Structure 1
Amino acid sequence: MPARTETPAATLVANMVAAVEDRTAELGRPAAIIAVAQAHGLPARTVERWAGRAICVQTAPVPPGLLICQPCGRQMILLHDSDGSLAYLCAPACGRAPMPAAVIRDEVAAAILRRVPHLVPKRQRDRAADYATGAIQRVRVGITGLTIDWRESLLPVVAPRISMAQRLTRATECAHDGQHGRAIDLLRTGLAYVDPHHGPARDGASAQAGALLARLLLADGDVHTALLWATWAHQSLRQLQPHRTAVETRTALHVLAAAQHRTNRLADATTSYMDLIGLHTDAEGPTARATLTAHAALADVLANAGNCDQAQRLLVRTITIYSRSYPDGPSRAAVTQMRTALHRIRATCVAHHPHHQATRAP
């Protein structure tokens, strides 16, 4: 496998992108871009463009995140050279030359067609590398060849060529239409190269996809896997979003709190719902529907933790505020659900804690 002569421009781009990735965990992505740009005397827009082009999802010859430099163990990123050609290089560069992207793509495609040809639709044989995440865990790129770590079992690969943003849109539409299985397959294909145990998402669409996948897995009863993806998605969005009250971050926190509740991590769920209430309050106000709904969810967690007196008082207050703030018909269903939850909490409390003082219904 021929190597490309390393250019100063390629090394500079690789190291800038690596620096952004390193600082993102500490500062969040927008601040990391600014810090790296200032440290090297470069415009922030230039560094942001390099980082965005290096982490190319839609046009990558090989699914992103799949390639590892064998000599140094770092992940390889896609570089756009000045002549328009594509090459892969580890970041920060360990001294090796960039590797032609087309050569790596062709070798991965050939390996897929040799070992798991049934994974690739007949009309997609010329794009077999796009389906690599279904069968390959990692590709270790050596100086003269590739070492492939194969998965023990195949993963479904749905629409591998579309960008993560498009994938997220399609999965959201499928989920809305009740096609949960299709939505989960779409998301898992896009996230197949991600290890949620290690490192945040590199882009907002991937993080939002993780949150949606967690929500769908919760609905399917796979609560522990849902908690893993929800944690990763929320941590990622906290770093990527410039505003702490961004809708995407709050949505991910809501999914995380629900997953913590379902897995009986009640102390964590209490903290998450309290944080969510604070964010909703700052963003939309104390009587916003989202804020009051989070109050009701917190009451349920408190009740499950044995704090039924506190839960009942919180839920009574929430029902009263909700009824006064939203007296119209469409809000009656929410109030009815809260009252049902209150009766359930009260009945459980009477059965298990008869010494607790009764809380008057609103």
Structure 2
Amino acid sequence: MLKNLWTRFYLLLNRRKSKKRCDKDTSELCYLMDQVTNARRVAKEYRRMIRKGAINPYENIDDAGGSWLEVEDRLMRRDYIHAFGFLTIMVTMAVMLGAFGYISIQYSQEKLLLNKVAEARSKSSVRLKLSDGREVPFQNKDTISITMSTLKVAANNRSMHIVSTGGGVAGMNELQVPARLDYTVILPDGSSVRLNASTTLRFPAAFGSTRTVYLDGEAYFKIADDPQHPFTVYTPGNTIHVLGTEFNVNTYDHTRIKTSLVKGAVDVVQHNQHTLLRPGKEAVFSGRHVSMNSFEKPNALSWMNGKFYFHDMQLSEVTAMIPRWFDVKVVFDDPMMAHEKYTGCLDKLRRLDSFMEALKSTGTLDYYFTDDVLHITSPGA
């Protein structure tokens, strides 16, 4: 089983400072200090932070991840740049079961590449286009109330609750979630929908004999149980019929639409072909072809925790998440680089340049930014 060396390194440092260690721990720590580049300087900074009270190893003996974040935050500050360089992360790249292992991103003596994404964040907002033509942005945590003849809406920049006030379906409302954000909406029937970035959901003010919505992007549905009123999700490529159930739909790539069922049952229809899904199964539709696979829930739903796990995936597919999560365009200066395969994790809450440095450390690519465009090149180009 592969181990994250840096996480182990911090765990051993915590045990050493708290005196909860054994001779085996001490031997392992000494080995890592000798083998891992710059480990001694990291340990020195870690001890200094303990003396200042920034970290309490007695309270966090096994919280290696928390200790890592504390040290990394200090090292990333401007005061420490010239003394320590830049600490980045251990990542897993290349192919599992043989070719892949841990890649340690070493200290860099050059200036840290400014993260264009961090500078660009902040001004985009979730927007609701009402059926009467009005458009309402949700930019902060303050709740906004909207009342129409057929519905009431209470919403802020994180979630929306819709209550039907009666009347027929006068028109469709459209909820737009921009890049970098995700959003939760509670529909009039009590069903909840968690929307990923760069996703659009269209829904009526009130449901009639059937419950119908339109999705373009990715979302996780938790459908309120109501057998008398079937729930239907229309996507750019197929139609999903459900009763009471939980499932994820990914339509980012209209040529490859994926439906993953967590609970209940769904019938996915495409080109008059019906595919019945059971929990733990997903259907992938490519044109008229459909494939059925098992899926791991933590991986399939990891986007709700700001993570995108990929295994032996082409770089073009991996980087397709970057515009959605970071609002940065990606250009392959060398088109052949798009076909290189990697295994790892993209974290929405971390700096994009840290992720790119991880990929670069494999020796298979290079990159640079121009304004809000990420260019990927072959190494040495």
TM-score by length of 2: 0.26
Point out the structure with the larger strand share. Answer: 2
Point out the structure with the larger helix share. Answer: 1
TM-score by length of 1: 0.27
